[in-house]
Structure 1
Amino acid sequence: MTFSVHSMASVNSALQHMSMLQSESAKVHDRIATGLKVGSASDNGTVWATAQVMRSDNESRQSALTSIDLGTGVVETALAAAEGISDLMVEMQSKLVAATDTTLDEQSWRSLMTDFIELGNQATRLAENASFNDLNLLESGGGDLSVLIGKDPSSTMTIAAEDLTDGGGIFDAGLAANLPQSDNAIVATQPTSADVVAFEASLVDVTSAVSRLGVGLRSLEIQKTLLVKQMDVTSAGIGNLVDADLGRESAKLQALQVREQLGIQALEIANRSPRVILNFFQ
């Protein structure tokens, strides 16, 4: 065994060991404090880059979720108004059928047609006022609704506009002029069974439009459920990649603390070793 006051290899070895333990302990403290085992590219470049891409995808999905929520509001508003129009048309049909009774005098059937026109006016106002976020699928000239449903800009769903104003191609009151009207002056003659048949056809068209809006709304709900699930799964995947296991990190920290205590004792022993040389000169 060689004794030297210059090299002190045992002391240097103990110091290096303590430095390594302190560095590792600092990393464990950082993982416990942040809850992340990969907090930056310096920890693991490949994993960090993968997690960043996944985070970006989820941000894009969040934008799509906002688009779906807004689109759902537009379609829900349109659907509620369309259902109201359909209900009003059922009442209108009842008035129209009653007005075809040839046993009625002119005042009576005109009174029924006044009610028919007023109900039609209400239906038209529903279509004109079915607006959400300045978007209306039921008004004349209303455009189709395009909704972002995925992380890619090309992932869209289109909800077709349904013009339910009188004369718009779906709802047709069958009068000489389109509704709304202030009185029954546009009714020149008593309605006939042919007018009832034509109105029934229009009612079928409106019912079909209501059905299409209902299908569109359901489709948006399904897409939202899928999108939320994708976001949850992606978030869980990010967690699996970068989150620290705090239980394991805590156990590792305790083990490092014990090793540091042992290292301190080893350093004290190493520091005492050179003093043995003095005994040679006594």
Structure 2
Amino acid sequence: MSLVINHNLMAMNAARNLGESYGRLSTSTRRLSSGLRVGTAADDAAGLAIRELMRADIATMQQGIRNANDAISLIQTADGALQVIDEKLIRLKELAEQAATGTYNSDQRVLIDSEFQAMMSEITRIANATDFNGVKLLDGNLSGDPTLHPGATHNGDGVVSTGPLKIHFGTGNDSAEDYYFINIGAATASALGFWNPLTGANYRIDTQSLAQNMLSVINLAIISKDTIRGQLGALQNRLQNTITNLSIQAENLQASESRISDVDVATEMTEFVRNQILTQGAVAMLAQANSLPRLAMQLIGGG
């Protein structure tokens, strides 16, 4: 190579190598400080796209878990109210049994019937008052199976959804995978069978015959109430299984996202030390290369 003054090719080469080594050193520093192998699209464009989709699914699954937990709280609220109604039904049967015997006169049966009517009114009040976050649970608004009763299907087009309660926990909108419905039957006194269509009022037990007939009606009411509670219990167990499944999915997806996105500290630290040595070497050689044109000045001065 000729000794020239206008161009210092060795310095240019050293400067280029310094820029490359320094750039790789900067990348290693960024990865080690952030913990991410993929910090920008330039690091891994395909990996970045996959990672962001995974992050969206993970966040959605975690919200789905919270949705399922909220649904369990709703079911527990409804079941707690039905437990109170259960106590009222037991008291109703006790009163009917008391009025069915012949040792009480008509005046006494009227008094018994007065408490009987109060208990039925309380059942209706509890059913109409039970709600979760403003959603009425036992008044019949959530009753009906959309697979069996097309007229009672869920409708979420309006500001207030109608029909069975739709619990959404999946990352999409596929009925088989992402949501199902909660149907809760009405638990008012009339819905449990205490309404007399002939008189347009609740049944009474102010006569011995009416009290005796009421015993079987109350049995059917208890069965209807227990059917609702049984369905709620099954739904709660299903939701708990759903939460477990979602937690496992989110955990596995988080592991996959980590393998794409997170930096291997041991490997990256090795690369950092390598680039650090190359950068230091390039700086030293650039300093040496910048001093070489002085040789030409020495030749000129010596001539």
By the TM > 0.5 criterion, same fold?
yes
Pick from 153, 165, 175: which aligns with 1:145? 165
Match of 1:127 in 2: 127
For residues 143-198 of structure 1, give each alpha carbon's deviation from its aligned partner in whole angstroms, at most 9, with x where no partner exists.
Answer: 31111121112321111121111222xx123665555xxxx9x5452234332122
Q: 1:219, 1:87 → 2: CA distance?
A: 27
Deviation at 1:93, TM superposition (A): 1.3
Q: Which moved more, 1:38-47 or 1:133-142?
A: 133-142
Q: TM-score, normalised on structure 1?
A: 0.85
Match of 2:186 in 1: 163
Residues 1:189 and 2:207 aligned together = yes
Deviation at 1:251, TM superposition (A): 4.2
Q: 2:283, 2:52 → 1: CA distance?
A: 41
Contact 2:99–2:207 at 8 Å: present in 1 too?
no
Deviation at 1:50, TM superposition (A): 0.8
Deviation at 1:7, TM superposition (A): 4.7
Q: 1:194, 1:103 → 2: CA distance?
A: 17
Structure possessing the higher relative contact order (Cα contacts under 8 Å, 6 or more residues apart): 2
Q: Which moved more, 1:127-136 or 1:227-236?
A: 227-236
Deviation at 1:274, TM superposition (A): 4.1
3-state SS, counterpart of residue 172 of structure 1: helix
Q: 1:41, 1:18 → 2: CA distance?
A: 24
Match of 1:32 in 2: 32
Contact 1:71–1:147 at 8 Å: present in 2 too?
yes
Deviation at 1:139, TM superposition (A): 0.3
Relative to structure 1, is the Cα distance of residues 194 and 187 closer, same or farther in structure 2, using a 3 angstrom cutoff? Answer: closer
Q: 1:36, 1:206 → 2: CA distance?
A: 56
Structure 1 unaligned regions, length at least 5: none
Q: CA RMSD in A?
A: 2.6
Deviation at 1:92, TM superposition (A): 1.6
Equivalent positions of 1:1-282 (< 5 A) are: 2-142=2-142, 143-154=163-174, 155-168=178-191, 171-173=192-194, 178=201, 186-190=204-208, 191-277=210-296, 278=298, 281=302
For residues 19-43 of structure 1, give each alpha carbon's deviation from its aligned partner in whole angstroms, at most 9, with x where no partner exists.
Answer: 1111111112222333321122222
For residues 65-87 of structure 1, give each alpha carbon's deviation from its aligned partner in whole angstroms, at most 9, with x where no partner exists.
Answer: 45334433332221111122122
Relative to structure 1, is the Cα distance of residues 6 and 15 closer, same or farther in structure 2, using a 3 angstrom cutoff? Answer: same
- Whichever residue aligns with residue 17 of structure 2, its letter is H
The count of corresponding residues between Structure 1 and Structure 2 is 275
Relative to structure 1, is the Cα distance of residues 221 and 178 closer, same or farther in structure 2, using a 3 angstrom cutoff? Answer: farther
Deviation at 1:279, TM superposition (A): 5.8
Q: 1:52, 1:141 → 2: CA distance?
A: 40
Q: State the identity as a percent.
A: 19
Q: TM-score, normalised on structure 2?
A: 0.79
Deviation at 1:140, TM superposition (A): 3.7
